[in-house]
Structure 1
Amino acid sequence: MVLERLEALPVGSFHYKLLAVTGLGWLFDSMDTGLIAFILPVLAKEWQLAPAQMGMIGSIGLIGMALGAVISGTVADHLGRKKVFSITVLLYSIASAMCALAWDYTSLLCFRFLVGFGLGGELPVAATLVSEYAPSRVRGRFIVLLESFWGLGWIVAACIAYFFIPVYGWRMAFGIGALPALYVFLIRLHMPESVRYLLAKGRVQEARDIVVKLEEKLHVPVQPFTSDHEILPPKTVVSFRELWKKPFISRTVMLWLVWFGINFSYYGIFMWLPSMVFQQGFTVVKTFEYVLVMTLAQLPGYYCAAWLVDKLGRKYTLSAFLLFSGVASYFFGHAATATTLMVWGSVMSFFNLGAWGVLYTYTPEQYPTTIRALGSGWAAGFGRFGGMAAPLMTGIVIGRGFGFGFVFYMFAFVFLAVAAVVLSLGIESKQKDLESITTVSRVS
């Protein structure tokens, strides 16, 4: 059976190459998100933007991400993971180049929307593809490591901001963000289509050919398939309504709430982080240095989560990291000195980004192959509404005279609330085969 042989493959060069190829896409996306956070304080000064306008620049990309996640997730279950992944990377790259040419506030908003559409479309499809290839015994670790490229992207963004923006200006930073267009060719050469997707579409021979090639590449003895008949997944109605039928309704509710909460807190904090540090009295260059240190703390957070997710499990690792993110964000908002600002900012980065890694592992595992990209895309898409609301709300709250302490009370509460949601509604999917975790209703 194709899936049994796919699952039995030893972890080798193919899996790490797939992780690297998809991870580079993740890095470029993160780099773009980080760049806009670093560009905002410079752009606000040059264009004389109000706090609400700064918040809107951050939020408009999240609107695009919401639509991109929903549409790409739906399309990926019809056209395939690889094709949709390539298209979204290309769209995001072109739109980023257009941001460098923006002539006013309105044009920048339009281009940032398109950037967000491509970015939001890529992430859930990439996570779905990796989860469908990684063996169950290491799947959690691989998805968290995939998510760790997000932290690397922020570090690249911080370096670009530190070395380029003070000298060449913000337009050059956006221009660098257009480089992933070249990356599409790498995707075409090194990324196969999902075997599970091909089987779900009845394309058995294509799936078998991929498995045989992988066995040869990983030096596994290749045996001929003994039967012309493959046990295929049951035919299903691939529609939005499937997400709201048993046994998926509680999982959908849980995922939507967690995605909304983690997006709300993450983008509310990190899109404003350079501006917050800058407004504390530090220079632009010093601000970049402080935020770079906080960003570096993301990497050990990912690696700690990657180890715990297959030891402690998805449910408890995710809830614990969300809980400590809330504690850290509270103390960060009330930091009175530069030292405490950096310490609590680093702790917040450690747990917040670790939680993201676990969530990207956890989400595709809640649905079967036929609706996996659909379910992941809708969860991520709904979450982006939290992301788009937070920067705008933060700008309005600050503009009306409320301090950063009040803002971080709000973020801490949201983190604690979604941690409770995971504990109460979540199921454990540690080291289980994707096809055994869930079932889906048959077509009548």
Structure 2
Amino acid sequence: MAREQLQVLNALDVAKTLWCHFTTIIIVGMGFFTDAYDLFCISLVTKLLGRLYYHVDGASKPGTLPPNVSAAVNGVALCGTLAGQLFFGWLRDKMGRKLVYGMTLMLMVICFVASGLSFGSSPKSVMSTLCFFRFWLGFGIGGDYPLSATIMSEYTNKKTPGTIIVAVFAMQGFGIFVGGLFAIIVSTAFKVKFSAPAYEVDAIASTVPQADYVWRIILIVRALPTALTNY
């Protein structure tokens, strides 16, 4: 058994860069893609959240999230990421990387959808629900980071290990770019569909009720590439 495993590892070491390497880069890198998408697009979402849920009648400018709420929404996922790295790193040694990697992806998919469906009848309840699911989302992201790097390193050959691993981490850049681009596209589409006067003209009518769907769509759509990766 040990000899067969060594033969497989030796075959991977001497193998040329094949199509399977590129496939693995896309599959494993998709975790980094969605991680970066989430951690960086939330700063764009908070602008809309403030305007929707923290409008002040008579104010000269649109509403914004209070500093403590903004810090919580932006930072809670990072706290979950730290905890997730420690927990899933330990769990990986106990249960194996493939099973634990699938668990992190499923947790991320569930929390992607749940964070976009954050419910409540008041700004406080919506923000609390969003922060709750974003913590567990970060928990899954924390497990995805080390596991993705480990899986990719096992498939690399001796000739181009650095190039392949860097290609996986480069998916973070694509995630940041696509997150911002998709937010712009969705916002523009809703602006064209539901025209509204400027804030200075009519503060209430300037934010249409349908705008509440914008940030939810931006958050939920992240679940698609993660679900495909798990598939």
Distance between the aligned counterparts of 1:86 and 1:165, measured in 2?
33
> Is the Cα contact below 8 Å between 1:165 and 1:172 reproduced in 2?
no
> Is the Cα contact below 8 Å between 2:34 and 2:226 reproduced in 1?
no
Q: Aligned residue for 1:97?
A: 113
Distance between the aligned counterparts of 1:55 and 1:165, measured in 2?
23
Aligned mate of 2:53, from 31, 47, 50: 47
How big is the shift at 1:147?
0.7
Q: Aligned residue for 2:228?
A: 183
Q: Aligned residue for 2:196?
A: none
Q: Aligned residue for 1:35?
A: 41
Query: Which string of whole-angstrom CA distances, capped at 9 and with x for unpartnered residues, describes residues 363-401 of structure 1?
Result: xxxxxxxxxxxxxxxxxxxxxxxxxxxxxxxxxxxxxxx
Distance between the aligned counterparts of 1:151 and 1:63, measured in 2?
22
Distance between the aligned counterparts of 1:40 and 1:151, measured in 2?
21
Query: Which string of whole-angstrom CA distances, capped at 9 and with x for unpartnered residues, describes residues 307-351 of structure 1?
Result: xxxxxxxxxxxxxxxxxxxxxxxxxxxxxxxxxxxxxxxxxxxxx
Taking the TM superposition and a 5 Å limit, the aligned residue runs for 1:31-180 are 31-48=37-54, 49-103=65-119, 104-166=126-188, 167=190, 168-180=213-225
> Is the Cα contact below 8 Å between 1:23 and 1:147 reproduced in 2?
yes
Structure 2 letter corresponding to 1:116:
G
> Is the Cα contact below 8 Å between 2:30 and 2:229 reproduced in 1?
no
Higher relative contact order (CA 8 A, sep 6+): 2
**Gaps (5+ residues) in structure 2?**
1-5, 55-64, 120-125, 191-212
For the pair 1:9 / 2:31, whether they are aligned, the reply is no
> Is the Cα contact below 8 Å between 1:30 and 1:153 reproduced in 2?
yes
How big is the shift at 1:14?
1.8
Taking the TM superposition and a 5 Å limit, the aligned residue runs for 1:380-399 are none
Distance of aligned partners of 1:185 and 1:128 in 2 relative to their CA distance in 1, 3 Å threshold: closer
> Is the Cα contact below 8 Å between 1:69 and 1:120 reproduced in 2?
yes
How big is the shift at 1:45?
2.4
How big is the shift at 1:185?
4.3
Distance between the aligned counterparts of 2:220 and 2:112, measured in 1?
7
Structure 2 letter corresponding to 1:172:
I
> Is the Cα contact below 8 Å between 2:111 and 2:137 reproduced in 1?
yes
Structure 1 letter corresponding to 2:154:
E
Distance between the aligned counterparts of 1:175 and 1:18, measured in 2?
25
Structure 1 letter corresponding to 2:32:
W
Query: Which string of whole-angstrom CA distances, capped at 9 and with x for unpartnered residues, describes residues 44-99 of structure 1?
Result: 22222212220111111011111111111111122222221111111111111111
Q: Aligned residue for 1:234?
A: none
> Is the Cα contact below 8 Å between 1:90 and 1:184 reproduced in 2?
no
Aligned mate of 1:26, from 32, 42, 46: 32
Task: Please state whether the residue corresponding to 2:158 is helix, strand or coil.
Answer: coil
Structure 1 letter corresponding to 2:23:
K
Distance between the aligned counterparts of 1:137 and 1:77, measured in 2?
28
Distance between the aligned counterparts of 2:107 and 2:152, measured in 1?
21
Distance between the aligned counterparts of 2:229 and 2:103, measured in 1?
8
> Is the Cα contact below 8 Å between 2:112 and 2:137 reproduced in 1?
yes
> Is the Cα contact below 8 Å between 2:82 and 2:142 reproduced in 1?
yes
Distance between the aligned counterparts of 1:165 and 1:111, measured in 2?
23
> Is the Cα contact below 8 Å between 1:84 and 1:122 reproduced in 2?
no
Distance between the aligned counterparts of 2:52 and 2:230, measured in 1?
37
> Is the Cα contact below 8 Å between 2:36 and 2:176 reproduced in 1?
yes
**Is the deviation greater in 104-113 or in 70-79?**
70-79
Distance of aligned partners of 1:185 and 1:147 in 2 relative to their CA distance in 1, 3 Å threshold: closer
Structure 2 letter corresponding to 1:13:
W
How big is the shift at 1:34?
2.4
How big is the shift at 1:184?
4.3
- What TM-score do the two structures reach when normalised by structure 1? 0.40
> Is the Cα contact below 8 Å between 1:86 and 1:184 reproduced in 2?
no
Distance between the aligned counterparts of 1:97 and 1:61, measured in 2?
15
> Is the Cα contact below 8 Å between 1:94 and 1:181 reproduced in 2?
no
- What TM-score do the two structures reach when normalised by structure 2? 0.75
4+ aligned runs moved over 6 Å, structure 1: none
Structure 1 letter corresponding to 2:224:
L
Q: Aligned residue for 1:301?
A: none
> Is the Cα contact below 8 Å between 1:90 and 1:180 reproduced in 2?
no
Distance of aligned partners of 1:4 and 1:175 in 2 relative to their CA distance in 1, 3 Å threshold: closer
Distance between the aligned counterparts of 1:6 and 1:141, measured in 2?
15
Task: Please state whether the residue corresponding to 2:170 is helix, strand or coil.
Answer: helix
Distance between the aligned counterparts of 1:86 and 1:29, measured in 2?
15
Q: Aligned residue for 2:59?
A: none
